[in-house]
Every structure is written in structure tokens, then in C-alpha cells.
Amino acid sequence: MWEAGDTRNKIVVISDIHIGTDDKYAETVKNRPLLIDLLKRLQSTTDVRELVIDGDFLDEWFLPVYYPSHTDVQQFYKDVIANNQGVIDELNNVIGSDMGIRGASEGGKEFASSNECTG
């Protein structure tokens, strides 16, 4: 990615990832392996101190009008996790590394209600 130094002085920001519950309607499925690769690389870097997710990480809006809407927030999160397990696993690995991770955008719908999901 770049030549890493010894001091954790970089912040990596990602946004508009739009992972969802149904790949038939997702616009970013082909980028999922690239995101997983980025998350794996970040875990081993020596100079990134924080990963910032700047909104629109989840996507419940890019669906046909006739698609049943999600009325249970916790079930929505569980469905997203199940459909994107590789991404979630690598995010958990980033959390377990020496790097910090946080959500930065109040505009991202997922951060408004993410504290409702415990699973």
C-alpha cells in the first residue's frame, strides 16, 4: 500500500461501503474482496493508528420498491452480518489489532441505531 514507518501517525478513512442483506441488489459486491484485502493489510501495518468508517457502511436503501422492508433492526444487523461475514470477520480482526476503529459520520444511518444491536 505504502512504505510504512514505525510511528502510528496515519488515519485511514473509508466510506460508502453499502454492505447489505441481499447481493442480488447490492451495487458493491465485486468490491467486497478488495475491502477484505484492505482490512487484512491494515491489521499488519505499523503506521496506521485508526480506521474511520465515515458513513453509509450499511445499505438498506438500495432495494426494489416491492422488497420487504426491515422492521426489526436487530434482525437487519444479523442479516447483514450473515451476508457479509468475511468483511465482519476482518473488521473484528482490526478491532483486535493495535489500531483503533470508529464511526465518524452522524449522517450515516447505521450509526444512529447501531447501539440497538448486541449480536
pLDDT tens-digit series, residues 18-64: 898 888 877 788 999 999 999 999 998 999 999 999 988 887 666 66
| Domain ranges within the chain, ordered by starting residue | 11-116
Per-residue pLDDT tens over the stretch 56-89: 888 766 666 666 677 788 888 898 999 999 999 9
Residues present in the chain in total? 119
Where on the phi/psi map is residue 55: left (φ > 0), alpha (ψ -120 to 50), or beta?
left
What is the pTM assigned to this prediction? 0.78
Backbone angles phi, psi at 77, to 5 degrees: -60, -40
